Structure 1
Amino acid sequence: MSDRPRPLPLLGTTRHGSRDAMTCLYRCANACDHPVPNTSDNPYFGDLVHAEVSRRGVVRAGAVGAMVLGFTGTLPDTPAAASAATNSPARPPTTPTGGKGIGTGALTFKPIPPNTLDTFVVPNGYDHAVLIRWGDPVVPGAPAFDLRRQTAAAQARQFGYNNDFVGVLPLDKGGKRALLVVNHEYTNEELMFPGFTSHEALTVEQVKVAMAAHGMSVVEIERVAGTGQWRVAGSGRRPYNRRVDALSSTLELTGPVAGSSLVKTAADPKGRRVVGTLNNCAGGVTPWGTVLSGEENFDQYFVGGDAAPAADKPRLARYGITTTARYRSGSRRWERVADRFDLAKHPNEANRHGWIVEIDPYDPDSRPRKHTALGRFKHEGANVIVARSGHVVVYMGDDERFDYLYKFVSDKKFMTGDSWVARKHNLTLLESGTLYVAQLGQTSAAEIDGSGTLPSDGAFNGGGRWIKLVSGNRSYVDGMSAAEVLTFTRLAGDQVGATKMDRPEDVEPSLHTGKVYVALTNNTNRGVGSNPKPDEANPRTANRHGQILELVEDRTDHTAETFTWSLPIVCGDPADPSTYFAGYDKTRVSPISCPDNVAFDATGNLWISTDGNALGSNDGLFATATEGPERGHLKQFLTVPRGAETCGPFVTGDNRSLFVAVQHPGEITGATVDNPASTWPDGDYAKPGVVVTWRLDGGPVGS
């Protein structure tokens, strides 16, 4: 690259209220330019009384699943894990990492102001470091990254592109070693390949590089000198490190759809093995020490929907795949490398994507699995809590305008303990169970006018129920088999009258209170034209900023089929009367737009990352208490560089380290590798990467 300064691409080229047009193209293939896939007319089932719910028993239930918070769980004592490295522990750690404790829970940091800087900004008293970036070596023997001589073989051993979900799992009792597990959601070839002109002009090798840059990475990391900082583990065998990609990795199908005619192909006549995982967005860490990864915008990778069998076309269209033309805008042309992406030839291939993937980072030889019992849709992620009964409950959102909120309850019960027998049992928990979709009622429907004005009862709230879709191999949806319900879950939700939401993305239960929090990112189509009108859970017309939904299961039982709900946060500029922050003084609240991912620290504070800030500043990470007098006091903790999205986040169980993924830095219309809109993190061209943040005095992050 020349050292001569170049003018930056124009900033602020956005569509649909927030995201840059370039992100719209590569993230979801301009989904908002296409008709809303959900054309059903789902009414509310009626108003429910907002009841007071006791918290008795919730902490006990949450304690079983404490690994979700970080280093408060146990390591699996498996033969594979024990033999993978000579310094692996003989017994799993059962205590949090060392340090000065987890803190009081009070959020003491001074919030940072909104900004548009091309850098990573944290509060005074904190520091941060890039842990790993696109192209860094992962698998031992990986070559150094060479921008102008990229190969698929090299990328398959290097850290992938556009990191999203971040999970950190312990490797020792002292909290000195851990496994970093990261999703790689999508690629932007304009920012990857010098001289890019079009997808059609890419070489076959370049297409393979992009395919290898998708998927997941598992990387061993180590703590730096007893601080909250971490780095990639030094030289050595690093036996846990691995890459899973869309080019050559093979995954296993489990559950009722595995082996059915809906997923059989010429290459896989048994319907049980799938090559590749696509568009891995958010995820979750399970109480038994695995990671769940959601396949989201998989539709953009397929062509030939116009030539698919006529009976398949309504199903394809409901998932966003065009059935009127061979290609859609943003088509990646992967069929040039693998004709499985051509639905004219392989109409079932699309049915093999859109699932929740489970990967065991402690067993590098294990095959990741796609769990069909959890349903197929555009998964943002999946998060687990153990109910009082011992069954595991998984919460999930379908990230599309006017799509649905789901939960899964396992047939089997979680087995406590760190034995190999217990872990082997727990690895089967997601293979069979009951899948539900949410239907929300309103208490003040007549007062919702789309302005965001609070109803006269002082809250957006109501009751709801979980509608049973399928249990094991039994369908509860008329005219659909269990395999059909799970493969075409959106259509099942349409048929039973599920509530259309404003892009339900991350869904996560608090292990302190048992309450469940949902990030509803935005929906600029809400109430516009013939689209569904505002309702109490989605109360604003042309919703640009999104909201947070809080859900309380009836009787504090996560297997219950009824719940109450409220909106503690309605996002936007606090000066805007349509915003709401749990009744807190809005003059003291940070502005927030487009919540995307949520997480909890060890004291129960809610952390919210954003995607597509529609207030004109960079995306960031925010925190608030969910209980007590500070409930609703939202404070901005960090911002990411120009053009980037804040992904993750993950707070370790000792509250001393906070990890976020900086996704698509510099993804601004007109940017290229040679003319970047961002030079983060190395001062040359933009590279997605994972950042760790810690307090300089060694104390707990945030509090």
Structure 2
Amino acid sequence: MRNLLPLLNSPHSGGRSALTCRYRCGDACFQDVPNTSDNEYAGDVIAGALSRRSMMRAAAVVTVAAAAGTSALAGPAAPSAEAAESAATPQAGPFGRTDGARGLRFAPVAPNTTDAVTVPAGYAQNVVIRWGEPILRGAPAFDPDKQSAKAQAGQFGYNNDFLSLLPLPGEHGRQVLVANHEYTDEILMFKGYDPAKPTREQVETAWAAHGLSVVVVQEERKSGKLTPVTRHHLNRRLHTTSEFRLTGPAAGSDLLKTSADPTGTKVLGTLNNCAGGTTPWGTTLHGEENFNQYFANGSSATDKRYGISTGATERKWELFDKRFDVKQEPNEPHRQGWVVELDPYDPDSTPRKHTALGRFKHEAAQPRLTADGRPVVYMGDDERFDYFYKFVSSKRMKKGTSRAAREHNLTLLDEGTLYVAKITGDSPAAEIDGTGKLPNDGEFDGSGQWIPLATGDVSHVPGMTAEEVYVFTRLAGDKVGATKMDRPEDVEPSPRTGRVYVALTNNTDRGKPGKAGADEANPRNLNKHGQVLELAEHWDDPASDGFAWRLFLVAGDPEDPATYFAGFPKDKVSPISCPDNVAFDPHGNLWLSTDGNQLGSHDGLFGVATRGERRGELKQFLTVPKGAETCGPIIQDRRVLVAVQHPGEIDGASVEKPASVWPDGPGKLVRPSVVAVYRKDGRDIGV
């Protein structure tokens, strides 16, 4: 019998603190569900064009990997500043086994509430970079008592989320780390912070702490540690006042024009960058997610189903810049909510916001290539009852690193077709009762259809122009009957099989009065633990208009009958709750980070086999400190990188009353950081 920790006290769905809800998403879970459409649900049984057999036939799809082969992945360091190991003693887990699929041969970490990054026995870790560390020339060392917008603009940003690690040819042992900085916790950043009366310096410092960081890192070959190379010519900070360029079919639309930008093509800032993707042509993609929370004084006329507040915002930015006041600039929110593409190798380039990929709360955007070299990008809209999308480019990638090839490849995501998913189950509705009980055929599975929304300047949605489809993509999904999902977050196609994995984090509103009930793809009412969907495109072609699907994992306590681990024995897996980010290791195993664990333990990182006799065997690799979320995993041969986001983000916490002492110990400011984890003996991860 496995004894889990008692549930932590939290009235918030998904196990989050009220502080997280305030600063990360503007209390989204306490607002009305934006999707009030009456679309049918995945439990509706129709004659699908695909069968479960076609899922099993899905062949491998080759994708081009842009990430370096020996990069690091982060797992936070312990309370001592540069400790090589966690202060907590790694535990062998509930089963004490170190066998498993190749890449997963480690003793699983047991669920815990230790205020540290806890890793398996035999593994060590180091903090790669912390919030506030200088990365640009002239930037000062971090001083919590002397924070300023000017200083922060040259320092690593706050609340690191998505990570990408790219090769750096010609510089031995160095790689380029790119990080998203999703949002700021002002109450954990500034002493004496008054949420009702923020100062201009505090607001402008927070502006500079958002956005993206590019920083070169150096590996220490013997230990596996990574350290930043400060003031490298590729290092860069992009934030709320940096310039971005709108590209694609909606660029220049009247819907995107403001008094500051009558062209509708130049945007200041990128907001709430959550997960992202790395392209085969060597750029990074960044999803703008909960952008709505930064804009005040919205109305039904200006909101269009995105959750913009009708009053003041939490951060009060509208008091310092009119672009955050919808009354004064009604189109400014339309310039956020896109997928941003960054060229990390060109520090003078202007990042692009790709309108062809649609505007919604982008959790991620991960591409793969068709057989003829066209990118296909999969995207989730992280909202209760919202949709899952893909974009198929009409242009082929050019190989090579010449200027002509790079310039061409930066236009790949500007021309093509945007689709939304309609999912159907293959079991009778009576067998989907909302408890998570498997239907009689033994799996939650079925078929799906990609419904086209727009191609270039042509709309496929009755009553909407193409520009309206791109700017108000959620409304377009409503009109064509897309399937309401349980918060589709990160999405990742397997480099080995081509199957696509979608993390559906949770949805505690499912099945409530007046809300959509359970269906085969979202089989539990009041769903607090989430699930992972596995998708295979029709005829193994990512550009096809159909797919087969099944639930790979139904998360929660394995002792709960309403959980499922791809058929693997449930007494031999780790408990998992609220899957969020996904990634693959070199062996083809899927790795999952969690956000909002509802089982009483801190969030963590898990690996799970996707093939063979161990398919569904899930093992916990690490846990993060108090109040933190695990983000941005990268799993390579010798290292794992994770972003430890919002440590100490617990109700009642402040600079004066910290809820965590990570990463630098008592008396030091709690700081989001990137961590690398590696084996003490220098061998590959999990072998």
User: Do Structure 1 and Structure 2 share a fold, with TM-score over 0.5?
Assistant: yes
Cα deviations by residue, 1:332-362 (Å, 9 ceiling, x for unpaired): 1111221111110100000000000000000
Whether contact under 8 Å (2:55, 2:548) holds in the other structure is: no
Per the TM alignment, residue 201 of structure 1 is displaced from its structure 2 partner at its CA by 1.4
User: Which amino acid in 2 is paired with 1:439?
Assistant: K
Matches of 1:11 and 1:156, distance apart in 2: 37
1:1-80 maps to which residues of 2 (within 5 A)?
Answer: 12-44=9-41, 46-47=45-46, 48=48, 50-53=51-54, 58-59=59-60, 61-63=61-63, 65-67=64-66, 69-71=67-69
Q: Counterpart in 1 of 2:578?
A: 594
Cα deviations by residue, 1:243-287 (Å, 9 ceiling, x for unpaired): 0001x2000000011101000011000100000000000001100
Give the match's secondary structure for 1:549. Answer: strand
Q: Counterpart in 1 of 2:587?
A: 603
Matches of 2:546 and 2:261, distance apart in 1: 41
1:232-251 maps to which residues of 2 (within 5 A)?
Answer: 232-233=228-229, 237-246=231-240, 248-251=241-244
Per the TM alignment, residue 56 of structure 1 is displaced from its structure 2 partner at its CA by 8.1
1:398-413 maps to which residues of 2 (within 5 A)?
Answer: 398-413=381-396
Q: Counterpart in 1 of 2:355?
A: 372
User: Which amino acid in 1 is paired with 2:227?
Assistant: R
Whether contact under 8 Å (1:169, 1:179) holds in the other structure is: yes
Per the TM alignment, residue 14 of structure 1 is displaced from its structure 2 partner at its CA by 3.6
Per the TM alignment, residue 422 of structure 1 is displaced from its structure 2 partner at its CA by 2.1
Whether contact under 8 Å (1:621, 1:636) holds in the other structure is: yes
Provide closer, same or farther for how the CA distance between residues 468 and 317 of structure 1 changes in structure 2, counting only shifts above 3 A.
closer
Per the TM alignment, residue 72 of structure 1 is displaced from its structure 2 partner at its CA by 8.9
Provide closer, same or farther for how the CA distance between residues 195 and 581 of structure 1 changes in structure 2, counting only shifts above 3 A.
same
Give the match's secondary structure for 2:394. Answer: strand
Matched, 1:194 2:191: yes
Provide closer, same or farther for how the CA distance between residues 17 and 600 of structure 1 changes in structure 2, counting only shifts above 3 A.
closer
Matches of 1:378 and 1:345, distance apart in 2: 23
Give the match's secondary structure for 2:285. Answer: strand
Give the match's secondary structure for 2:539. Answer: helix
Matched, 1:134 2:134: no
User: Which amino acid in 1 is paired with 2:280?
Assistant: P
Per the TM alignment, residue 317 of structure 1 is displaced from its structure 2 partner at its CA by 4.7
Matches of 1:690 and 1:298, distance apart in 2: 24
Whether contact under 8 Å (2:14, 2:578) holds in the other structure is: no
Which of 481, 487, 498 is the aligned partner of 1:503?
A: 487
1:413-562 maps to which residues of 2 (within 5 A)?
Answer: 413-444=396-427, 445-562=429-546
Q: Counterpart in 1 of 2:371?
A: 388
Matches of 2:674 and 2:69, distance apart in 1: 19
Per the TM alignment, residue 229 of structure 1 is displaced from its structure 2 partner at its CA by 2.1
Whether contact under 8 Å (1:13, 1:669) holds in the other structure is: no
1:28-177 maps to which residues of 2 (within 5 A)?
Answer: 28-44=25-41, 46-47=45-46, 48=48, 50-53=51-54, 58-59=59-60, 61-63=61-63, 65-67=64-66, 69-71=67-69, 105-172=102-169, 176-177=173-174
Whether contact under 8 Å (1:674, 1:685) holds in the other structure is: no
Q: Counterpart in 1 of 2:199?
A: 203
Matches of 1:375 and 1:700, distance apart in 2: 40
Whether contact under 8 Å (2:187, 2:655) holds in the other structure is: yes
Whether contact under 8 Å (2:188, 2:655) holds in the other structure is: yes
Q: Counterpart in 1 of 2:657?
A: 675
Q: Counterpart in 2 of 1:302?
A: 295
1:352-371 maps to which residues of 2 (within 5 A)?
Answer: 352-371=335-354
Per the TM alignment, residue 368 of structure 1 is displaced from its structure 2 partner at its CA by 0.7
Provide closer, same or farther for how the CA distance between residues 614 and 348 of structure 1 changes in structure 2, counting only shifts above 3 A.
same
Q: Counterpart in 2 of 1:326?
A: 311
User: Which amino acid in 2 is paired with 1:253?
Assistant: L
- Say which is worse superposed, 499-508 or 442-451, in terms of deviation: 442-451
Give the match's secondary structure for 1:231. Answer: strand
Q: Counterpart in 1 of 2:91?
A: none
Whether contact under 8 Å (1:119, 1:640) holds in the other structure is: yes
Matches of 2:604 and 2:286, distance apart in 1: 22
Matches of 1:586 and 1:173, distance apart in 2: 48
Which of 269, 279, 301 is the aligned partner of 1:286?
A: 279
Matches of 2:348 and 2:14, distance apart in 1: 44
Matches of 1:568 and 1:657, distance apart in 2: 26
Whether contact under 8 Å (2:8, 2:600) holds in the other structure is: no
Cα deviations by residue, 1:469-524 (Å, 9 ceiling, x for unpaired): 00111100001111100000000000000000000000110010000000000000
Matches of 2:257 and 2:497, distance apart in 1: 43
Per the TM alignment, residue 543 of structure 1 is displaced from its structure 2 partner at its CA by 0.2
Matched, 1:253 2:246: yes
Whether contact under 8 Å (1:648, 1:660) holds in the other structure is: yes
Matches of 1:485 and 1:335, distance apart in 2: 28
Matches of 1:349 and 1:256, distance apart in 2: 18
User: Which amino acid in 2 is paired with 1:242?
Assistant: R
Provide closer, same or farther for how the CA distance between residues 468 and 631 of structure 1 changes in structure 2, counting only shifts above 3 A.
same
Give the match's secondary structure for 1:257. Answer: coil
Whether contact under 8 Å (1:71, 1:175) holds in the other structure is: no
Give the match's secondary structure for 2:605. Answer: strand
User: Which amino acid in 2 is paired with 1:170?
Assistant: P
Whether contact under 8 Å (1:376, 1:488) holds in the other structure is: yes
Matches of 1:584 and 1:239, distance apart in 2: 49
Which of 211, 215, 218 is the aligned partner of 2:211?
A: 215
* RMSD, aligned CA: 1.8
**What is the TM-score of this pair, normalised by structure 1?**
0.90
Give the gaps of 5 or more residues in structure 1.
1-9, 74-102
User: Which amino acid in 2 is paired with 1:36?
Assistant: V
